[in-house]
Amino acid sequence: MELPPDLCKLIEAGAENAAVTSFKIKGSPEEDAVLCTPDKTYAIRSVVLSNSVLVVTPGPLAVDESGMGREAAVIRDQLSEILELVPSVPKLHKLDTLLRGAEYGEEHEDEDGVESEGDDKLPRQKLSYQEARDMLQASDAELDRGLRERRILILDGRIRPIAPSYLTTILELILTHLVSLSLRHDAASVDELSSALEEGYDIRRDVCEQILCWFGQTHEKKWRMDVNSIVKEVGLGILRSYEDEHTPQDEFMQRWRKAVGDSFEAEVSLNLLSGNYLSQVDTLRDSPTAMLTYFPSSRLPIDPSARFTDLFLTRPRWKAEEIAPFLADIVVDSKERDRLLLKYTRAVTDSEGVWYTARTKYNG
């Protein structure tokens, strides 16, 4: 296996400090294997060598005819291929399937592990945090970050996604109580906020505390709010209600500012929602009006070919700044994104700038 420079440095540093350096190879029989460090994931690829490589080790000291000692080498093996490690995005898409039916919402779950729907009792998927670590092709750090970004709670050792509408409700309550309790958003009392939501709205304390960690930092029982992230999530909650319809941009922005309150309305910006909406101009109105539709990149296929197919079935051409947010979650960096654009699109320049169109024609 050929190690990239960053892994070599990690191993060498561990050897110098006598520390244990742990890697894991993950993947079920139907998946391509990946190697995970504590904070990164690497795809494992087989590379055929054009020249043979000999694996040698020092041998016993040999004495020649003149009586001089010469160091010998022993050929242990001959390689015609090696395993190459390439940085990869963590493969967390399985979570959507594994956690289907386990959503945590305003209607609290029964203690016996089933949820009611009408008169029927439906078994709920149960996936522990440890099972997710063992099953998913991601490093521990990437898994933890993925759980936060996907708004997945850890409750009693199990992982459960929170219902988006319930999350929006809790965030709006947090913003409201910051004002009503006269708390500073950069040094709010975790206990005071959690107690207010638990006593007034029956929101579990551990749920509230995890949500506070998603949208800021806690230190010594004080919460420093990440203003942009919480404003963004409230905006997403409003935008989701327009999944099957268009809404005037001005109307949406007005609702968004009202939801976050006077203290944070200045932070409202459509740029925060990049990769979650489509915008188009409605020319049939009395005056041309920008219209928004909920269109999250998280629902697009993770396979690059399938993702570009969906994007170009949605729109025949895209500007660079429009398409880039819809590729961010399937690439490691901008170089890989540019490589995918070169492979799957054609760049066309006109008076409005550079547009990307599909290399293959798709019929909608």
Residue 49 scores a pLDDT above 90: no
Q: Which of 93-102, 181-190, 235-244, 278-287 has the lowest mean pLDDT?
A: 278-287
Structural domain contains residue 44: yes
Looking at the chain, the whole-number percentage of residues with pLDDT higher than 90 is: 68
Burial of residue 228, with CB atoms counted within 10 A of its CB: 0-12 exposed, 13-18 middle, 19 or more buried? middle
- Shared domain for 217 and 98, answered yes or no, is yes
Mean pLDDT of 305-329: 95
Q: What average pLDDT does the structure give for the chain? A: 89
Chain centre distance of CA 21? 25
- Shared domain for 206 and 125, answered yes or no, is yes
Residue 123 scores a pLDDT above 70: no
Residue bearing tokens 């919460």 = 223
Last residue of a domain, one of 194, 228, 262: 228
- Shared domain for 262 and 346, answered yes or no, is yes
- Shared domain for 323 and 268, answered yes or no, is yes
- Write down the pLDDT at residue 115: 46
Residue 263 to residue 265: CA distance in whole angstroms:
6
- Per-residue confidence at 124, pLDDT binned at 50, 70, 90? low
Structural domain contains residue 138: yes
* Cβ atoms 299, 276 nearer than 8 A: no
- Per-residue confidence at 306, pLDDT binned at 50, 70, 90? very high
* Contact partners, residue 96, CB within 8 Å, separation at least 6: none
Better-scored residue on pLDDT, 17 or 186 = 186
The string of pLDDT tens digits covering residues 129-157 is 999 999 999 999 999 999 999 999 999 99
Residue 125 scores a pLDDT above 80: no
- Shared domain for 169 and 210, answered yes or no, is yes
Chain centre distance of CA 353? 31
Classify residue 2 by its DSSP letter: B
SS3 149: helix
SS3 289: strand
User: What are the phi and psi torsion angles at 271 (to 5°)?
Assistant: -60, -25
- Shared domain for 219 and 142, answered yes or no, is yes
Domain tally, the chain: 3
Mean pLDDT of 96-115: 71
Residue bearing tokens 């320049």 = 349
Chain centre distance of CA 124? 24
- Shared domain for 79 and 100, answered yes or no, is no
Residue 22 to residue 38: CA distance in whole angstroms:
8
Residue 307 scores a pLDDT above 50: yes
- Shared domain for 204 and 261, answered yes or no, is no
| Selection from 83, 86, 91 nearest residue 27 by Cα | 91
Residue 256 to residue 254: CA distance in whole angstroms:
5
CA angle 126, 208, 156 (to 5 degrees): 30
Residue 324 to residue 306: CA distance in whole angstroms:
16
* Cβ atoms 103, 162 nearer than 8 A: yes
Structural domain contains residue 239: no
- Shared domain for 248 and 315, answered yes or no, is yes
Cα–Cα distances in angstroms (integers) from residue 128 to residues 135, 188, 210, in the given order: 11, 31, 17
**Parent domain of 161:** 94-112+120-228
Last residue of a domain, one of 228, 255, 287: 228
Last residue of a domain, one of 176, 204, 228: 228
- Shared domain for 206 and 289, answered yes or no, is no
- Shared domain for 254 and 332, answered yes or no, is yes
- Shared domain for 64 and 154, answered yes or no, is no
Classify residue 15 by its DSSP letter: H
Structural domain contains residue 236: no
Residue 117 scores a pLDDT above 60: no
Looking at the chain, the whole-number percentage of residues with pLDDT higher than 70 is: 93
Adjacent-strand bridge partners of 205: none
pTM higher than 0.85: no
